[in-house]
Amino acid sequence: MEEDRNSIGKSASEEYRRRMRKYRTATGLTHARLAPLIPCSESLVGAVERGTRPPTEPFTRGLEKVLGLDGELLELLPAIRDVSPKWFRRWPAIEAAAKSIRIYQLALVPGLLQTPAYARAVFEGEPGAIPGEVEKAVNARLQRQAILSRANPPSISVILDESVLLRQIGGPEVMKEQVNYLLDMMTRPYVTVRVVPLSSCSTAGLIGPFVLASDDGANAAFLENAETGEVIQHAEMIHKLNQRWELLSGLAQPTYETVKITMRVMESL
């Protein structure tokens, strides 16, 4: 269990510093030579790499441009920035380190595949939603999606209950954009989306959504309810969720049928 934690559950800030040092030294740049290229002070570069100052988005974008990166640092920012509930903060680092991610969703398009407008509508539906906090949450969600744009993205396998496509989050226009984006993502070789039709009636997924992440044999899962969530790394629980996934996979339509279903929804909007 401790080895699993070390492999897949590293804190985002530690992972950020490790990657920053790795990529910086690979280019032969010292703190002094790197700073004016970002641009920032030499002391800030050193402070971020030592972990005494948190990285900001502008700093990270400048750093990635200089080092020739493609989201390897940006993808870690959501877990570093204090914009997510405490119970969620471990998950983005696990998600970013995973080589394969399997997602089952009962009611919503998964966060990794949401458009900004759809994500905003989801967060605005929360009790006591505050506009400024909603935007922070939307930005954090979009930053998590950086893992899909890097040179070696994880494989993403998604099973959706058909109700996800039929529920018009944000209204017809927002949903039309979201469904169109989903169709576009389905053309990517590392993204698979399948739908469990409503005609399946009672399924193993009615109890709620879950996510499974794997990295060279190390496994973790994320379970969420209305008010909280939990990162799971217990082998027996992972095994049970894998069984649930297999049952849902057996009910899910193949990808070509899922495209047809999604296109019908698109046309209805």
- Domain co-membership, 171 together with 256: yes
| Confidence grade of residue 6 (pLDDT, cut at 50, 70, 90) | very low
What is the reported pLDDT for 10? 52
Residue 202's domain spans which residues?
86-268
Q: How far is CA 142 from CA 27, 67, 112, 184, in A?
A: 28, 22, 8, 17
H or E stretch including 13? helix 12-27
Question: So what's the pLDDT on residue 140?
Answer: 82
Q: What is the mean pLDDT of the chain?
A: 87
Mark whether 53 and 94 lie in a shared domain: no
Which of 57, 79, 101 corresponds to the end of one domain? 79
Q: What sign for the dihedral angle of Cα 26, 90, 86, 131?
A: positive
Q: Taking the CA atoms of 58, 64, 70 and 71 in sequence, report the sign of the dihedral they define.
A: negative
Whether 130 and 262 map to the same domain: the answer is yes
Whether the CA torsion 168, 170, 171, 176 is positive or negative: it is: negative
- Whether residue 153 is preceded by a cis peptide bond, meaning omega within 30 degrees of 0, is no
pLDDT on residue 251: 94
Q: Give the end of a domain, one of 36, 54, 79.
A: 79
Do 38 and 119 belong together in one domain?
Answer: no
- List pLDDT tens digits, range 78-115: 667 655 566 566 788 888 889 999 999 999 999 999 99
Q: What is the CATH number of the domain that holds 43?
A: 1.10.260.40
Give the tens place of pLDDT for each residue, 46-80: 988 988 777 888 899 899 999 999 888 988 876 67
Q: Please check whether residues 223 and 135 belong to one and the same domain.
A: yes
Q: What is the structure's pLDDT at 89? A: 64
My answer on whether 124 and 108 are in the same domain is yes
Check whether residue 103 and residue 195 sit in a common domain.
yes
pTM of the entire structure? Answer: 0.70
2 pLDDT band (50/70/90 cuts)?
Answer: very low
How are beta strands 229-232 and 218-224 bridged, if at all? antiparallel
Where residue 221 sits, what CATH number does that domain have? 3.30.870
Task: Indicate the range of 15-29, 133-147, 154-168, 179-193 predicted with least confidence.
Answer: 133-147
pLDDT at 7 over 60: no
Per-residue pLDDT, 9: 33
Verify that 230 and 258 share a domain, yes or no.
Answer: yes
* 48 and 173 in a common domain: no
SS3 at position 2:
helix
Q: pLDDT (tens digit, 9 = 90+) per residue, 186-237? A: 999 999 999 999 988 888 778 889 999 998 777 999 988 766 778 888 999 9
**Are 171 and 38 contained in the same domain?**
no
Predicted local distance difference test score (pLDDT) of residue 227: 66
- Domains held by the chain: number: 2
Which tokens sit at 223? Answer: 């379970």
Same domain assignment for residues 22 and 138: no
pLDDT average, residue stretch 139-156: 87
Out of 79, 103, 124, a domain closes at: 79
Confidence category of residue 4, pLDDT binned at 50, 70, 90? very low
**Amino acid at site 109:** V
Residues 6+ apart with CB under 8 A from 259: 183, 186
Q: Do 95 and 35 share a structural domain?
A: no
